[in-house]
Chain A
Amino acid sequence: MRSPFKKFLASGNVFIWGCAAGVSVSLLMVFGLLLLIVINGLGYFWTANIVELTLKDKQHVMGQLAGREVIPRSVTPDRPEGKSRLRVKIGNRDIYGLDFKWVNDDQIASETYSPDIALLERREWGNMYARIKAVYKGEMLQAEGNDAGWIALAPLIDTTNALYQQITRIERIEIGSINTDIEQARLKIRALEMGAAPDTRESGQIDSLKAQVAAAESRYQERTLELDTLRTQFNEYSVLMVDANGREKQIPVGQIIRALRPNEIGLMHKCWIYLTNVWSVLSTEPREANTEGGIFPAIFGTVMMVIIMSLAVVPFGVLAALYLREYARQGVMVRLVRIAVNNLAGVPSIVFGVFGLGFFIYAVGGTLDTLFFPERLPTPTFGTGGILWASLTLALLTVPVVIVSTEEGLAAVPREFREGSLALGATKLETMLKVVIPSALPGILTGLILSMARAAGEVAPLMLTGVVKLAPSLPVDGSWPFFHFDRKFMHLGFHIYDVGFQSPNVEAAKPMVYITTLVLITVVVLLNLTAIVLRNHLRKKYAGSVL
């Protein structure tokens, strides 16, 4: 006769509780992490009101509230417990040197939200919180006083922003393409000079190329003159600001991206500003050592890298799996290969990075350079890190996942399908292509999904194979041949590391880290969703097959 306790144990309830507890703890951790990232990330886009604090020592502090905490003992051991302090984003880095300031609650004498304080978003030095004193055109006074200055400022900012776009366009596209022309003509000259003994026809070619270079250089001079006039217009107006403690600072209007008076705008308008903030982070380039501005190049680089990786890893992995499962004689050798493939998935990613550096960049890239781009040496073209090599390194890293899940997919295709096809006179290859692979496609896509998730989050191998903290141009642009696989690129994962841990201004960079993390997770989820939708579509198409 079993005791009731033993009976209870044998009933398995405890076991079920254990399983449920395991699942709940995992879920809690995942959702807790997501919640932390979402709250911290999305909070950054909100334009908080500007508070003006008068302290008991008659000092003034002006800025946006960024948090409140109980003063930790480690900071002020002599204080009684339970006192709290405020963290205020005071901006004006050019005046105070720091973006944030701690203010103890018991120091505050008064707290006001006056509607006339302006928030200036600047191209350099971060935000400024101050009142307008006057607006100047060169030395001439245009408007005086806070309200008059505010009214005069708004149209000026629109003008300078338009000018800024025009200047960037000339610098990037027009001068950029002139530079490309000059560079290419020079390389052609160099290639001709490096070739066999110069005959007359070749020297004629060199002369015409030199003429091209000269023409391009004169076009470049014209553009520079145009730029000079634009820049003068750009810096024509300036605004004199005065901060909470009466310090004055004159800044050119060209430096201002946007001016707001957060305390006087309504909720709806703030929501609109929130959306424009989100969009500008997603669509613009970083500023000020990546701590301000957007992360578009990093998003672009991540997505493009994952796509190139997928294009490389799927054919490679599927062919390997097909051979292992369908053609190779099943024996000791194949078993050993399988074990090796599975173990490959466990190799630390930095090892793949070193391999990518040694094999792809130095060996393959170096050879490509000597064969196809000798005129550019010693400047490497493919013999240095780039998006192609990084993607291929990640493809190697993730190929075991694709092989394993493709093999599983192939194994799950019922034998009846193969026999049915063979019995109709199909060859083995025809059976593979028309029946087996289509039925195994969901399995193959599962492998792709797993490998994309892994690749998008990998950072270590990229640091050796072509990721940079700030890429001057995207891997895809308007100049021929449009896709530049040799270019270095930015990546969200590396961006998190760089902004969060390599930045000189850690406090200011913190929200950027949360946002980048949130975007990285979103990108991974979106890429996976695409593959999952595709897989479900295929499953429906091949409904009835086992997968």
Chain B
Amino acid sequence: MQNGLRQSPDRNYKDHAVKLTLNQVNFFYGDRQALFKIDIEILTNQVTSFIGPSGCGKSTLLRCLNRLNDLVEGARLEGTMLLDGIDIYGPNVDITDLRKRVGMVFQKSNPFPKSIYENVAYGPRLHGIRNRGRLDQIVEEGLIGAGLWEEVKDRLQASAFGLSGGQQQRLCIARALAVKPDVLLMDEPCSALDPVATAKIEELLFSLKQDLTVVIVTHNMQQAARVSDWTAFMYLGEIVEYGLTKEIFTTPSKKQTDDYITGRFG
């Protein structure tokens, strides 16, 4: 992990192309450093999860991937982050294009105060799709992709706030899918949901990774073990260990990881 040694998955490497490459990334909120020398690769069509105790920097890392941290005053990033080989912090990058390619689902479901239809159509409309028939199709695809279509197809014009918590979160997933992203970032998407709604979203992840690369931050280690192919354990802004999920959870190579997943701290 030190001395420029790339932390990358070394098995099944050839089966999947590299989607995101993080090279010696340091991140600062003003004077306070939040991420230290993050140096990993994330693979296409895989689910990668970040686990770790609160405040370890996993959400910060996630928000660096779509440059949402740019909004924070005094935020500063060192090192490079490549998406398909292109630096996302490069000078010619259009942030709106980047965010279109890297979608995000937040911890707290945040549908807009609009109808279900308008929520899903929000992104496509922004990117210039006006044709009603095309929009209808995109909305339907998004809702089907998020497993919500059967539940809401008869009340697309109803307010999104009438949905249950789990449905709202899946609506947010549908909204993110409607702009056809390459990568979907999920910031503790199930932390406010009951077990049934959580199970639905976890099932969804298996189908989503057929088309997308999913990066998920979670507090819940069982969830990470269930849904992800790769897991990174973070502590105090550093990546302690990164590898195949089943190996991390069965034979961790670091003592800290072992302590965390067995519940001795965190």
Contact = CB atoms under 8 A, between A and B. Distances in A.
A and B interact physically: yes
Interface of A: 329-330, 414, 416-417, 419-427, 430, 434-435, 438-439, 541-545
Nearest to B178: A424
A438 B113 contact: yes
9 contacts: A420-B111, A421-B112, A423-B103, A423-B104, A424-B99, A424-B179, A435-B112, A542-B113, A544-B113
A425 to B, nearest CB: 4
Given A416-B108, A419-B68, A543-B159, A425 B113 contact: no
Nearest to B113: A542
Interface residues of B, number: 26
A420 B179 CA distance: 13
Interface of B: 66, 68, 71, 73, 96-97, 99-100, 103-104, 106, 108, 110-113, 122-123, 126-127, 159, 161, 172, 175-176, 179
B236 to A, nearest CB: 25
A417 B112 contact: yes
Contact of A427 (B68, B96, B103): B96
A424 B123 contact: yes
B110 A425 contact: no
B67 to A, nearest CB: 9
Contacts of A545: 113
A393 B27 CA distance: 51
Nearest to A434: B122
B99 A420 contact: no
B97 A424 contact: no
A430 B126 contact: yes
Given A439-B113, A544-B159, A545-B113, A421 B68 contact: no
A543 B111 CA distance: 12
A330 B108 CA distance: 27
Contacts, number: 67
B113 A419 contact: no
B68 A422 contact: yes
A104 B141 CA distance: 91
A422 B113 contact: no
B165 to A, nearest CB: 12
B183 to A, nearest CB: 12
Given A416-B106, A417-B110, A424 B176 contact: yes
Contact of A543 (B104, B122, B161): B161
Nearest to A438: B113
B102 to A, nearest CB: 8
Contact of B66 (A417, A423, A430, A435): A423
Contacts of A427: 96
Contacts of B111: 420
Given A543-B161, A545-B113, A425 B97 contact: yes
A430 B68 CA distance: 16
Contact of B122 (A329, A330, A416, A421): A421
Nearest to B118: A434
A334 to B, nearest CB: 13
A424 B113 contact: no
B71 A422 contact: yes
Contact of B100 (A416, A425, A434, A544): A425
Contacts of B176: 423-424
A543 B159 CA distance: 8
Nearest to A329: B73
Contacts of B99: 422-425
